[in-house]
Structure 1
Amino acid sequence: MEYPSSEWSKLKRYVEDGRYSIDNNVQENAIRPFYVGRHSWSFSDTVAGADASVNLYSLLQNCPVNGIDGYPYLCALFKALPTAQTADGFPALLPWRIDPTSA
């Protein structure tokens, strides 16, 4: 009974506010790809390869946040990538700026 007593103020919040979830499954499912990816990233041969993997992974994780399907986005990205001649052209290729139906 010592643990619930010491955490009583936090436990009360769940009962007082019906918006709080009884578990954290949504949060755990959101971070699961990072956890699984962490194991895969340990096999990167070079720092540049690990950086490339992280950049690609970040792009793909931004797709669902912006309501975009990742595969059509990647198709459109690889088609439009040669048009970015300088670093200033890359922001136009972000998931929320490129039209995934243009692939």
Structure 2
Amino acid sequence: MAEEGLRQIQALYAIEAELHGLPPERRHAERQARSKPLLVALRDWMEAQRRRPSGKSDLGKALQYALGRWDALMRYLDDGQLSIDNNLAERLLRGITVTRKNFLFLGGDTGGERAAVIYTIAETAKLNGHNPEAYIATVLDRLAKGHLASRINDLLPWNLSPEAQAVAVG
């Protein structure tokens, strides 16, 4: 039973491998056409199988876990920018986790929350081809020079090209 479930999941990852590097609109369309039917079949299969193993077995727990988070899994179908899993986020957080003890004295919960926001901005900037320090400096500079709050989306890492950043900082 586990092998069958893995085979179905591997088919989804094979599609994602083919879609890697395509524009988000194309990935969205391909996922709707190719991945969605496979996910519907997987869910039907999981629903049919979930009573077979004991609920206390590893396989039973895995089926319940997956079905309990099904809506979250399906979310990637609707946005070509999302990944099928959170492996990238896990890798990006590894560095922060390793230095967690260094952050114990950030001034309490508020300081920790602020640090989390800054790390999120820095990592998102990196993912979008920016030097995080230069990106943050550019955003702060533009905000200080009166950037309109109604146009704040223009400063998001995926909307601000690294070239525009270089011009603004340089």
User: Partner amino acid for 2:139?
Assistant: L
TM-aligned CA deviation for residue 59 of structure 1:
0.5
The equivalent position to 2:159 in structure 1, one of 94, 97, 101, is 97
Is 1:40 matched with 2:102?
A: yes
Unmatched tracts of structure 1, length 5 or more: 1-6, 10-18, 20-26
Contact 2:92 2:123 in 1 (8 A): no
TM-aligned CA deviation for residue 82 of structure 1:
1.9
Identity %: 20
Unmatched tracts of structure 2, length 5 or more: 5-13, 15-86
Is 1:64 matched with 2:126?
A: yes
TM-aligned CA deviation for residue 57 of structure 1:
0.8
Q: Following the alignment from structure 1 to structure 2, what is the Cα–Cα distance between the partners of residues 80 and 61?
A: 20
Bigger Cα displacement from structure 2, 59-68 vs 71-80? 71-80
User: Partner amino acid for 1:41?
Assistant: F
TM-aligned CA deviation for residue 85 of structure 1:
6.4
TM-aligned CA deviation for residue 75 of structure 1:
2.3
User: Partner amino acid for 2:118?
Assistant: L
TM-aligned CA deviation for residue 43 of structure 1:
1.6
Q: Following the alignment from structure 2 to structure 1, what is the Cα–Cα distance between the partners of residues 124 and 135?
A: 11
User: Partner amino acid for 1:74?
Assistant: I
Q: Following the alignment from structure 2 to structure 1, what is the Cα–Cα distance between the partners of residues 151 and 102?
A: 30
TM-aligned CA deviation for residue 37 of structure 1:
4.2
User: Partner amino acid for 1:48?
Assistant: T
Q: Highest relative contact order (Cα 8 Å, sep 6+), 1 or 2? A: 1
Q: 1:49 corresponds to which residue?
A: 111
What RMSD in Å do the two structures reach over aligned CA positions? 3.6
TM-score for the superposition, normalised by structure 2: 0.40
TM-aligned CA deviation for residue 33 of structure 1:
1.4
TM-score for the superposition, normalised by structure 1: 0.57
Q: How many residues align?
A: 94
User: Partner amino acid for 1:100?
Assistant: Q
The structure-2 alpha-carbon separation of the partners of 1:85 and 1:8, relative to structure 1 and needing over 3 Å to count, comes to: closer
